[in-house]
Structure 1
Amino acid sequence: MSRGSFVFSSNALRSLQLDEEMLERDKYKHRFASQHLLSYTLKKEALGRTPPKSSSVSKPTVCRDVVIQNALYTGNLEATQQLFPRGSTANLIIEPQGGEMRWVARGKGLWSLAYEQELTTPLHITAGRGFAECLKVLLQRGASVDLSPGGITALHESCAHCEPECTRILLMHGANANAVTEDGLMSLHLCSSPESLECAKHLIQYGAAINGRTLDEEDTPLHVAARNGLVDHVELYLRYGATVDKKNDEGLTPLNAACSQPQEPQDLQRYFNLCKMLMKAGADIHTSDQDKHTPLHMACKNVNAHLVELLLASGAKVNDMDYGGEAPMHNILKVACYKLTHSPERVVRALLNYGSIRVWPGALPMVLRHCSQSPQTIEVLLNAYSHLKVNDTWIESVPPEVMKEHKEFYESVFSLARTPRCLQHLSRCKLRSLLEGRLNKVVPRLELPTFVKNYLLLDYRGYVH
């Protein structure tokens, strides 16, 4: 639905059908020539005409011919050649059949009832569907390569639908690689899937602005590629000079955009590789958005353990607070129960080993209630304390079904109400306190058995003692 419009009722539609032709003429008379294509047979009369020079482009003609539309939408090359013989014009505006009548604001307080339809051209139809041979015929017949009746060009269509051959043909015929849609997007911004890589390569070859911004969000192509986890696109853009730390209107750099994007388990490694590439290119890991969320905050929220470990190893500040007063540890604990397949315990463990603040002991029952389905997360948290005051509130915080599923672990937790922590654990806490902030650097270098090193770094055992 267009801006400033609303759906008209079906009863009123029937009563106003007699005005349809007048309203359609009113809609188009200020935009297109009054000439109409009456029938595809009229094109035979153009056989004897002199083909137009490439430098002159005829005004587009509105076409409602169903035969022509069927040939274009099905990619019928033979029919396209017959319907657009040499000497004819392919510079048409296609008005698809159908659509709804709506009240549309015309300016100056006037409203009128009109069909709201998406306009297109033969180039748009063939380019968006990958009909390369039909596209060549239309361009040879003088179709305007940058015509954009619906606010987008044929090049935008071919890139959005990942049609590299059509993209190449349009660019070879002079399509503007930096043309902007009515929504403020360039063609590179529409390369948002892995299949669009070849389109992006063609665009860059023909001068697409590698750091061009979208109109509303001020995203660069690198923002788009990072947000969508497109590793090959990011590598391509960086190779051609994309600026790695430009911010969009929300204060996000490409690295922030990648870290903040929700990730399924199968996406985690891809986003890790992408962020590693951006950081190697010089991306600032300390840059925060308008809400002071750093890449570490975002990676914790999306529970990407590999990425969290990479950021921490690269110097990310583990206790930076956002505007809400929350550190990265808060972000992981709030989502742990929803991201069990992402191994939230690894994120909590990494944060604690790099000196993260711990949960206030009085809030541990609430954390227990919220994260009880991830016993390893609870184990790591509890092993960061030398002493715990376990009481009935702790027992009540674990749902019965979770208690039944992880009975052995939670019985070991609740037994701490009667027994103190063991000497081995107390020794671990003391050593961790002495090495706070340096654990991951010092412990691997100690001449100790591997299992002891892992114990110091809060490895999981399935119980607490």
Structure 2
Amino acid sequence: MEELSPRQLAVLQLKQQFLEAIKADDAQQVLQILQNGKLDINTVLDVKDPGMILASYKQGYWLPEYKLEKSWAMGIHVSVMYNALETALVLIQEGAALNRMPNGKTPLHVACEVSNSDFVALLLAHRSKINIMSLSGHTPLHHCTSRESVDCAKQLILKGADVNMRSDNNDEETPLHTAARFGVPELVVLYLSHGASVNALNFLQETPLMTAAFWAYDSMDQIYREDHHLVCRLLLDHQADPNLQEEDHKTALHKAAWNCDHILMQMLLEAGADSRAMDINGCAPIQYLLKVSDMRPMAIPELCYQLLLNHNAARVYPPQFHKVLQSCHDIPRAVEIMVNSYERLKPTNKWRAAIPDECYKRHEDFYDSLFAVCSNTPRSLLHLTRCAIRARLAELCHSGVAQLPLPSSMKRYILLEPEGILY
């Protein structure tokens, strides 16, 4: 390593002294260092930044991990990061540059990143650029990603931030997409009330509704996020189109079905989502549901199947029904709902092979009834009557059954409410 000269060592020490004074919000010492004239106010410092609050990189760039532990920053960036308001006032009065980004972000980006509305107000009052892009292609508004940053977003919008500006990167997200992805209903309401396009498309042709639907399931903690559900409700109430398709032709309902999210599926279906929409591979939402029924421990798959079938979803092709058993063999209520959507089903030799022996024993009464009912023809007159009513109502089945002059138990029967056994 090259040995530093005494002058270089002195500069490093002065920079370190300057940095520590800013972090401690020691405005007097900061002013003293600047007035000595030995350090430029916009000098670039090396700052520990493991959370990448100061840094922003273009997508596709690769950096070794040790490089991501530190960032370059000017004193004004550091004052924002450490909430050193008095020091920031001194730096601004002494002429600090407010729109430079030594490591990809301006001080205004940083203020939004840390949800500091006082700094946002200060920077905007001194003419920080509002719609400036970071190195990764995001405006300050894109960095408002939490409830704590709502006040920051309000100030930006009042000063002219563009709520429909897309990020200048591979995502091309509007701030509404970002709010939907992070699940912040307060930001969604704010953006919509200031003219955000509810059906704006990102690079993948996804709407904010699709984004919220996908991120409503936390795969790490295996829970469903209520805030994302609320975001979807808000978007639908503002006329978001549930049937728009992204580049692979998936709709929001495909994404909700993939998450096995019955709450969101019901919301979308009642808003007019097409239960038969097919993606680029010819898969409808029910096929997505089949793929994940045994992979979502917090889900209630039978409700998802019931919802889709009561909203006129296309049934699984009968010769392929063994795939239902492969996916749902340990969820007999789901199998029951699927079986009862047909007038009759004829078992194939693949049916029994699709059910593991230990699972068959666990649900022996149900599976004995399944094979007995499907092997003997015809099914009961009551069941055939149910099928006839469902066929007549078609896509109106879910809402139409409620209006029939029938006992509530009969209505539940028509709507495929599972009973635990087939007859």
Q: TM-score range by the shorter chain?
A: 0.7 to 0.9
Equivalent position to 2:164, from 177, 202, 211: 211
Residues 127-206 of structure 1 aligned to structure 2 (within 5 Å): 127-206=80-159
Residues 43-442 of structure 1 aligned to structure 2 (within 5 Å): 65-72=15-22, 75-78=23-26, 80-85=27-32, 88=35, 90-96=41-47, 118-216=71-169, 217-261=171-215, 263-264=217-218, 266-390=223-347, 393-416=350-373, 419-420=376-377, 421-442=379-400
The structure-2 alpha-carbon separation of the partners of 1:193 and 1:399, relative to structure 1 and needing over 3 Å to count, comes to farther
Give deviations 1:301-332, integer Å, cap 9, x for gaps: 22222222222222222212211011111111
1:38 paired residue number: 10
Q: Which amino acid in 2 is paired with 1:342?
A: A
1:44 paired residue number: none
Q: Which amino acid in 1 is paired with 2:215?
A: Q
- Shift of the alpha carbon at 1:455? 0.8
- Shift of the alpha carbon at 1:384? 0.6
Stretch of structure 1 that moved more, 132-141 or 148-157? 132-141
The structure-2 alpha-carbon separation of the partners of 1:139 and 1:225, relative to structure 1 and needing over 3 Å to count, comes to same
1: distance between equivalents of 2:398 and 2:15?
71
List alignment gaps of at least 5 residues for structure 1.
Answer: 1-16, 23-34, 40-61, 100-114
Say if 1:130 and 1:165, in contact at 8 Å, map to a contact too: no
The structure-2 alpha-carbon separation of the partners of 1:423 and 1:205, relative to structure 1 and needing over 3 Å to count, comes to same
- Shift of the alpha carbon at 1:417? 5.3
Say if 1:63 and 1:93, in contact at 8 Å, map to a contact too: no
1:461 paired residue number: 419
Say if 2:34 and 2:41, in contact at 8 Å, map to a contact too: no
Give deviations 1:347-404, integer Å, cap 9, x for gaps: 2111111111111122122221122232222121111112122355323322234334
Say if 1:286 and 1:295, in contact at 8 Å, map to a contact too: yes
- Shift of the alpha carbon at 1:262? 5.1
Say if 2:306 and 2:416, in contact at 8 Å, map to a contact too: yes
2: distance between equivalents of 1:417 and 1:391?
10
- Shift of the alpha carbon at 1:184? 0.9
1: distance between equivalents of 2:154 and 2:81?
18
Say if 1:64 and 1:96, in contact at 8 Å, map to a contact too: no
> What TM-score comes out, normalization by structure 1 length?
0.78
2: distance between equivalents of 1:418 and 1:329?
25
Structure label with greater radius of gyration: 1
Q: Which amino acid in 2 is paired with 1:210?
A: V
2: distance between equivalents of 1:190 and 1:65?
29
The structure-2 alpha-carbon separation of the partners of 1:404 and 1:136, relative to structure 1 and needing over 3 Å to count, comes to farther
Say if 2:142 and 2:178, in contact at 8 Å, map to a contact too: yes
1: distance between equivalents of 2:100 and 2:10?
22
Q: Which amino acid in 1 is paired with 2:388?
A: K
List alignment gaps of at least 5 residues for structure 2.
Answer: 51-65
2: distance between equivalents of 1:98 and 1:239?
35
Residue 44 of structure 2: SS of its match in structure 1? strand
Q: Which amino acid in 2 is paired with 1:38?
A: A
2: distance between equivalents of 1:294 and 1:366?
23
1: distance between equivalents of 2:191 and 2:120?
18
The structure-2 alpha-carbon separation of the partners of 1:251 and 1:418, relative to structure 1 and needing over 3 Å to count, comes to closer
Say if 2:344 and 2:374, in contact at 8 Å, map to a contact too: no
2: distance between equivalents of 1:269 and 1:382?
32
Say what the alpha-carbon RMSD is for the aligned residues: 2.8
1:449 paired residue number: 407
> What TM-score comes out, normalization by structure 2 length?
0.85
Say if 1:213 and 1:219, in contact at 8 Å, map to a contact too: yes
- Shift of the alpha carbon at 1:37? 9.3
Q: Which amino acid in 1 is paired with 2:29?
A: Q
Aligned residues: 396
- Shift of the alpha carbon at 1:224? 0.8
1: distance between equivalents of 2:343 and 2:137?
57
Q: Which amino acid in 2 is paired with 1:246?
A: A
2: distance between equivalents of 1:215 and 1:284?
25
Say if 1:86 and 1:141, in contact at 8 Å, map to a contact too: no
Give deviations 1:95-136, integer Å, cap 9, x for gaps: 34899xxxxxxxxxxxxxxx9663111221221233333333
2: distance between equivalents of 1:405 and 1:415?
17
Residue 338 of structure 1: SS of its match in structure 2? coil
- Shift of the alpha carbon at 1:434? 2.1
Residue 119 of structure 1: SS of its match in structure 2? strand
- Shift of the alpha carbon at 1:233? 0.6
